[in-house]
Structure 1
């Protein structure tokens, strides 16, 4: 299969590119600088421009063909000012609109588009599968707009999968890269009540699930990319401390956290989603890491 990836330089994109190539797929990458290798094609999302040739052979003529869009500025650790929130929104919705329109124009049969479990807002202790409605808050509103931007591809008949990804656990960056220095200094601790759910997924399972979705034509619409056993913040704090052989005795009250990182940023720390990967498990996907300790062990 020929696969064109936007956001291939990120944590997930790099791992996915490697996995797809190892599985025998041809990977092409969209880059915003001058292309430096034969598999790279330039694009300029604000201008709505994609290099000629990027879609040749990705239109089903020489194989199934697919586009995977993983674009999006990092949600953390920067404080969410009004300007930062606009960057987060623009880095997701604009590129998705450009790619969805290109998928429609070139007749690409499959679009796998990034989204996030933030779609559900603060779900409390409720189990959230893909049928759950959108929540409230900045993250939820952003995810709704992000997913809606795939509409041109869907109207053109493409199979569109919306990847509602949880917290990806990897030793190479992401959430654990931010937390490790604090926990290694024994400064880790639960945030707020600690009862908010953290829907984690190992990087290995994240990229395996995307590969699975590329090959399963019966799956479309939203898919939760989360591990089968979401943990509360208190449980995550305890297990991460154990994995690093460090105590994690501290507690950051919710009001103090909001004061430091702002109301919008607090959504990342204090809102929780007990999101379950029902679409994946129903389709027969098998997780390599069924529980948090095994995922942390693999990441570290």
Structure 2
């Protein structure tokens, strides 16, 4: 069986090929609704190089082993499935120069398992899945290349990221890598041989200053998850201490270096503003009250030593980052797909959201721009009330959105966390981000959800 797909981009052929050749391209080309673990990957597409990943198929995880062949830069490369769910799979990637722009031609020859039965019962399903997957790849590839080209006149940076394994960190590392930056991870576990990793332990204050000397940009996304578990006294203490210990250690260490980074970016949250009803909030608005506000205030303050030492400190206040595989949206999807979606409470609370791609592109914009400093709200310019969010999500998923979810059931399920997570809200606008020149990919909620979930009509 055969599958063919073409993507046209205004980027020169050698740059497109280089993008594919970098390790981060695997993560960026993975559809945003798919979960896949990259087990190992060689650093090139040359003949004999391998890439191994696992992905869920029903209740089990399948392993896919791909071996590259036909390497001829910048014209083509190929990959052949050595182990996986198909009887055979041969994927040829061709890059056609069209006078400064490029056509990426994807040609796949594959055979389904189970012989005739596979062809009869599985061919339509596989074709539909491939169409959907390659549409997502096309959208992501074109956008990523455009965003990298915005700063192609600036030299590539050496970047260190803490919190690189989370939802945002995984995508950010991959995006920056495909742009040719030298990306390193700050990790708490044992360092993997051959990987660009540096060990630290914020709980014990362990970090070797010589290891982090010479980075141009340091990004801190870490901290115990705010919405991951119920808020017991112990959990709240961990939420605070994990941010205090890690941000203070990084800030103090960076400020002591002889060669300091240009930029130190820390990620906090719009919880800074507290529950403010219909009040329109910008970076100029005063902070609110409550546990989250107090946490964010202290969190942002822990970076003062870096700022005082002359490092340009950027504080991003994240809204609800839309992801199909985690976060608030990821947790909503199962009950919604089963027909149990709807407004929460009266549904009047504001949801200040941002798509994952805008989150990544905005961070890239802020660290690569020369004049950016201070606090920035990372939210889309059109926040939605929760009942509107529910209605749009129902439309995209083609599921009913009329079943209201009582507050009491959410309080039983989430405890104290239910308030700031579900019933309270902020009408936050990205004023400073837009003033800095950032152009949103997703200004409207419906298109953001369609791209995130792969449902285009």
244, 268, 283: which one aligns with 1:115: 268
Counting only pairs closer than 5 Å after superposition, residues 253-272 of structure 1 correspond to structure 2 as: 253-272=406-425
Gapped regions of structure 2 (runs ≥ 5) = 1-156
Q: Does 1:287 align with 2:443?
A: no
Aligned position for 1:61 = none
Higher relative contact order (CA 8 A, sep 6+): 1
Q: Does 1:42 align with 2:199?
A: yes
How far did residue 54 of structure 1 move? 2.8
Aligned position for 1:62 = none
Q: What's the TM-score once normalised by structure 2's chain length?
A: 0.62
Q: Does 1:156 align with 2:309?
A: yes
Q: Give the secondary structure class of the aligned counterpart of 2:317.
A: strand
Q: Does 1:228 align with 2:392?
A: no
Q: Does 1:98 align with 2:249?
A: yes
Counting only pairs closer than 5 Å after superposition, residues 1-300 of structure 1 correspond to structure 2 as: 1-36=157-192, 37-51=194-208, 53-58=210-215, 65-106=216-257, 107-300=260-453
Count of aligned positions: 294
Q: Is the 8 A contact 2:230 2:416 kept in 1?
A: no
Residues 172 and 259 (structure 1), Cα distance of their counterparts in 2 relative to 1, 3 Å cut: closer
- In 1, Cα distance between the equivalents of 2:211 and 2:364? 21
How far did residue 235 of structure 1 move? 0.8
Q: Give the secondary structure class of the aligned counterpart of 2:203.
A: helix
Larger Rg: 2
Q: Give the secondary structure class of the aligned counterpart of 1:251.
A: coil
How far did residue 255 of structure 1 move? 4.5
Q: Give the secondary structure class of the aligned counterpart of 2:404.
A: strand
Q: Is the 8 A contact 1:138 1:264 kept in 2?
A: no
Which stretch of the first structure deviates more once superposed, 279-288 or 82-91? 82-91
- In 1, Cα distance between the equivalents of 2:335 and 2:295? 29
Residues 12 and 99 (structure 1), Cα distance of their counterparts in 2 relative to 1, 3 Å cut: same
- In 2, Cα distance between the equivalents of 1:182 and 1:77? 18
- In 2, Cα distance between the equivalents of 1:257 and 1:176? 16
Aligned position for 2:77 = none
Q: Give the secondary structure class of the aligned counterpart of 2:314.
A: strand
- CA RMSD, 1 decimal: 1.4
Q: Give the secondary structure class of the aligned counterpart of 1:89.
A: helix
How far did residue 82 of structure 1 move? 1.2
Residues 52 and 157 (structure 1), Cα distance of their counterparts in 2 relative to 1, 3 Å cut: closer
